[in-house]
Amino acid sequence: MLHESALRVLRDNPFDILFIPYWLSQGKAVLKRNLSNRTDFDPSSLPYNRDLLDWLKQQQTQGRKLILCTASDHSIAISISEYLGIFDEVMASDGATNLAGKHKAEALEQRFGHAGFDYAGNSRADLKVWQSARRGIVVNASADVVKKAGAFCEVERVFPSASLDFAGWRRVLRVHQWMKNLLLFIPLLAAHQITNLDAWQCLILAFFRLASVPHQFISSMICWIWRVTDSTRENVTDLLPRALPLHQWVSCWLHYYCSVVWR
């Protein structure tokens, strides 16, 4: 949530980004509190792991006590808890203590005792917590994290991250946007200059020209920032036109820069 909050501040109050180094110098908890105070957070915009949520709801119906213990700021954690409606309690960063890694392990152990709780996590920072837990639930983590978690405690469940298949990579790389560049080769074929190696070299360079991919990538990134930071998911497309002036400026600058470079 730290990165999402920073992106929201960048969108809504760009000049506040300049204060981030100062806040960070006072500690991550202070940074998180200041970022959360300057943004409107909508918990429905988060990409929840549906398999995990379904399992947690099942555990709740069986009488298991669920506590949202997160390194996010307390205000954000409360919003998520109220939105999901499955947690009995919230433990989170409070503006003074960053509830992550060792601090989270200490807080849970102080509250429930050593091996007195089960913990669901996803990163190397959670290894400290699993050392104090009875059982672990590993979510969207690498095989190495799963293995190390199992060395510290019994792993009850593993929720693997979704793998990116060929179709996914094709969308990420936006291959469909490259197809129009094939038009560059039509004049060469029409002029019967297939054996002209110099022409082929120029056209291949033009096909993979620096401006052909980055301006599409930057366009996607700008639209992604607006999607990530949008507080109303259903109206996300309505916000995209607000990004277009910046996108057009960046694209034009890149085209100009690359034209000079490739000359």
DSSP class per residue in 129-171: HHTT-SEEEEES--HHHHHHHHHHSEEEEEEPPPP--HHHHHH
Quick one: tokens of 55?
């399992």
Q: What is the pTM of this model?
A: 0.65
Alpha-carbon span 54 to 61, nearest angstrom? 11
Q: What is the pLDDT of residues 168-189, one digit of tens each?
A: 666 655 666 666 777 777 887 8
Quick one: tokens of 174?
């936006």
Alpha-carbon span 91 to 100, nearest angstrom? 11
- Residue 239: is its pLDDT beyond 50? no
Topology adopted by domain 43-159: Rossmann fold (3.40.50)
The boundaries of every CATH 3.40.50.1000 domain in the chain are 43-159
Quick one: tokens of 180?
């129009």
Q: What is the pLDDT of residues 52-99, one digit of tens each?
A: 999 999 999 999 999 999 999 999 999 999 999 999 999 999 999 999
Q: What is the pLDDT of residues 128-170, one digit of tens each?
A: 999 999 999 999 988 899 999 999 999 999 998 766 566 666 6
Alpha-carbon span 9 to 16, nearest angstrom? 7
- Which residue's structure tokens are 């699993």? 130
